C-alpha cells in the first residue's frame, strides 16, 4: 500500500475537531508532518489533542481555537502556528457549517427559502467561502516565497451544489469551487498547488445527523478523504494543480497514478468557461 512521506512539513487543518478534520490530522502526523489543528470547538480540540498525543503527536501537534470567518483571528492563529511549528507548507481548508445549523432533518424534509434567515445565509457564506479565502490569503505569500505549498479545499458533490432546497450550503461550496479554480491558475508555476478533495457522497460525520435517515454503514468513511489528500501533499504531486479528487473513488491499495486516474477531474466547470464573448478575443486567464 502507498504511504506518502511528508516529513517535517508544517500543515494547518481547519475544522480539525470534526469528522474529516480529525482524520486529516491523524494521517498528516502519521506521514511525518507537523500539524496545527484549528477549530472553533475548543472541547473537540482538547479531545483530539489527547487522542493524537497518545499516538505520538507530541511536539509535532498544536491545537488552536479560532473562528475562520474572522480575518483577524485567522491572522493571529497563523502567526501562532508560525511561532510554534514554523512557516506553513500545507493548508487544508476543511472547516464548514452544514445544513444542520438550520434543521437536523434537512435531508428528509428539505429547507425552503422562507426558512433561511439572512443571518444564517451570511454566516454560512462567511465560514464556508470567506474562511478558506482568509486562510489562503495569509499563508500563500510565504508558500510562494519558499516555492513550495499545498492548498487543499474541501467542497462537495456537484449534485449538492446545484440541489434545490439545499441553500446556503450548496452555493457556498460552489463559490469555494470557483475560488479554487482561480487560485490554481493564479499560482500555477509557483510551486504552490491548489486542489479540491470531496468525499463523493454523504459521509459518516456529525454533519450528516442521524435524522438524515441514512444507514451509517452506507455513508462514505471519513478516513477515505486522507488518501488523495496525503498524496497531494507529497513531493510526487508537485505538478498537480487545478484538480478535484473524489475520495470514494480513490483506491488506496493501488499505486497513486492508478488511483488518480479513477478519482481526478478538472475542478469547477471549465467547459462553461470556454465561450466568453470578449472584446478583442479572449480574457487574460490567471
Among 27, 29, 31, 69, binds ligand NAD (CB under 6 A): 69
Of 133-141, 143-151, 206-214, 234-242, the window that binds ligand NAD (rule: CB under 6 A) is 206-214
The cell numbers describing 12, all together, are 494547518
Tell me the C-alpha distance between 85 and 25, whole Å.
14
Can residue 257 be called a binding residue for ligand NAD (CB under 6 A)? no
Query: Can you tell me which residue has the cell 449534485?
Result: 159
Distance in angstroms (rounded) separating the CA atoms of residues 39 and 168: 21
Q: Which positions from 85 to 124 touch ligand NAD by CB under 6 A, shown as an x/- string?
A: ---------xxxxx--------------------------
Is residue 41 at the binding interface for ligand NAD, with CB under 6 A as the rule?
Answer: yes
Rounded Cα gap, residues 105 and 210, in angstroms: 8
Instruction: Determine contact, residues 95/127, Cβ cutoff 8 Å.
Output: yes
Residue 206: CB atoms within 10 Å: 12
E runs forming strands in the chain: 10-14, 34-39, 61-65, 90-93, 149-153, 192-198, 243-246, 264-266
- Alpha carbon distance 286, 276 (integer Å): 15
Q: What does the alpha-carbon distance between residue 165 and residue 108 come to, in Å, rounded to a whole number?
A: 11
Query: Hey, what's the cell of 147?
Result: 516555492
Adjacent-strand bridge partners of 38: 14, 64
Out of 43, 206, 210, 235, the residue judged to bind ligand NAD by CB under 6 A:
206
Q: Does 170 bind ligand NAD (CB under 6 A)?
A: no
CB of 104 to ligand NAD, least distance (A): 12
Is 175 an interacting residue with respect to ligand NAD (CB under 6 A)?
A: no
Q: Write the binding mask 123 to 142 for ligand NAD: x where contact by CB under 6 A, - elsewhere.
A: ----x---------------
The answer to whether the Cα torsion of 107, 109, 110, 113 is positive or negative is: negative
Q: At closest approach, how far in Å is the CB of 117 from ligand NAD?
A: 17
CB of 126 to ligand NAD, least distance (A): 8
* Rounded least distance, CB 161 to ligand NAD, Å: 10
Out of 29, 31, 35, 44, which residue is the one contacting ligand NAD (CB under 6 A)? Answer: 44
Out of 205, 224, 241, 263, the residue judged to bind ligand NAD by CB under 6 A: 205
Cell numbers 451570511: residue: 122
How many other CB atoms are found less than 10 A from the CB of residue 96?
24
Region from 1-9, 54-62, 82-90, 197-205 binding ligand NAD, contact rule CB under 6 A:
197-205
Q: Which of these segments, 40-48, 101-109, 144-152, 236-244, binds ligand NAD (CB under 6 A)?
A: 40-48
Q: Which is nearer to ligand NAD, 127 or 138 (CB)?
A: 127
What does the binding site for ligand NAD look like in residue numbers (CB under 6 A)?
14-15, 17-21, 39-41, 44, 66-69, 94-98, 127, 154, 156, 198-199, 202-203, 205-208
Amino acid at each position: 500500500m502507498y504511504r506518502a512521506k511528508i516529513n517535517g512539513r508544517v500543515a494547518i487543518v481547519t475544522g480539525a475537531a470534526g469528522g474529516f478534520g480529525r482524520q486529516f490530522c491523524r494521517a498528516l502526523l502519521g506521514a511525518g508532518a507537523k500539524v496545527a489543528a484549528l477549530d472553533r470547538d475548543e472541547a473537540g480540540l482538547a479531545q483530539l489533542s489527547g487522542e493524537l498525543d497518545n499516538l505520538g503527536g507530541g511536539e509535532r501537534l498544536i491545537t488552536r481555537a479560532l473562528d475562520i470567518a474572522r480575518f483577524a483571528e485567522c491572522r493571529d492563529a497563523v502567526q501562532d502556528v508560525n511561532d510554534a511549528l514554523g512557516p506553513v507548507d500545507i493548508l487544508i481548508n476543511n472547516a464548514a457549517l452544514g445544513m444542520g445549523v438550520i434543521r437536523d432533518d434537512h435531508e428528509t424534509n428539505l429547507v425552503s427559502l422562507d426558512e433561511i434567515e439572512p443571518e444564517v445565509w451570511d454566516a454560512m457564506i462567511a465560514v464556508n467561502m470567506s474562511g478558506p479565502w482568509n486562510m489562503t490569503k495569509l499563508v500563500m505569500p510565504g508558500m510562494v516565497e519558499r516555492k513550495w505549498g499545498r492548498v487543499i479545499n474541501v467542497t462537495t458533490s456537484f449534485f449538492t451544489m446545484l440541489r434545490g432546497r439545499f441553500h446556503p450550503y450548496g452555493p457556498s461550496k460552489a463559490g469555494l469551487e470557483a475560488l479554487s479554480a482561480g487560485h490554481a491558475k493564479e499560482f500555477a508555476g509557483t510551486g504552490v498547488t491548489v486542489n479540491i478533495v470531496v468525499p463523493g457522497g454523504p459521509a459518516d460525520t456529525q454533519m450528516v445527523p442521524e435524522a438524515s435517515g441514512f444507514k451509517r454503514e452506507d455513508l462514505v468513511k471519513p478516513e477515505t478523504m486522507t488518501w488523495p489528500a496525503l498524496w497531494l501533499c507529497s513531493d510526487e504531486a508537485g505538478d498537480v494543480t487545478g484538480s478535484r479528487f473524489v475520495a470514494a473513488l480513490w483506491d488506496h491499495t493501488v499505486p497513486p497514478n492508478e488511483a488518480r486516474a479513477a478519482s481526478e477531474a478538472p475542478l469547477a466547470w471549465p467547459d462553461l468557461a470556454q465561450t466568453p464573448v470578449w472584446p478583442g478575443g479572449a480574457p487574460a486567464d490567471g
